[in-house]
Amino acid sequence: MKRMIRSWTIGAVGLLALVTLAACVVGGYEGDGGVGYVGGVYEPGGYVYGGWPAGYRVGPPRGGVRGPGGRAAPSIPHGARGGGGHRDGGKGH
């Protein structure tokens, strides 16, 4: 009977150890060395956007816009998906 209890105890401890190990592996995504997704970061908070003043522009220029030096401002691709990007750098969108 004692041997049986000992066997059960060993089995239970072994099971517990392995389940713990598995849980560690599954729950490891928060760390850098985890096997789930890593790399998600939050930004510092506590900030708000103010109004953007007139003349403050963030968008890309359209193709064909040239500066005083004659250099064409680059724009975004304007070809349809699967049809190439039409890398002419100077045509409008």
Partner 1 sequence: MGLARQSQSVRGETAVNHSKHSAGNLLGQGLCAALLYAAAITAVHAALGAAVVLPPLTQPASGEHHVGKVVWADLVTPDVDGAKRFYGALFGWTFRGMPGDSNYALALLDGEPVAGLFQKALPAGQSQQPAWLTFLAVRDVDAAQQGALQHGGKVLFKAHYYPHRGRQAVLADPDGAVFAVLAAEGGDPPDYLAVPGEWIWSSLLVADPKHETDFYKSLFDYDVYDLASEGGSEADAQHYILSSDNYARAGLNGLPADSMRRHPHWLNFVRVADAADTAKKAVALGGRVLVEPRIDRHGGRLAVLADPSGAPFGVMEWSDADTKQEPQ
Binding mask 49-68 for partner 1 (x = CB under 8 A): xxxxxxxxxxxxxx--x-xx
Residue 43 as a binder of partner 1 (CB under 8 A): the answer is yes
Contact 87, 57 (CB under 8 A): no
Q: How many residues bind partner 1 (CB under 8 A)?
A: 70
Residue 8 as a binder of partner 1 (CB under 8 A): the answer is yes
C-alpha to C-alpha distance for 18 and 20, rounded to whole angstroms: 5
Closest distance between partner 1 and the C-beta of residue 24, in Å? 10
Phi-psi region of 17 (alpha: psi -120 to 50; beta: other; left: phi over 0): alpha
Residue 2 as a binder of partner 1 (CB under 8 A): the answer is no
Residue 25 as a binder of partner 1 (CB under 8 A): the answer is yes
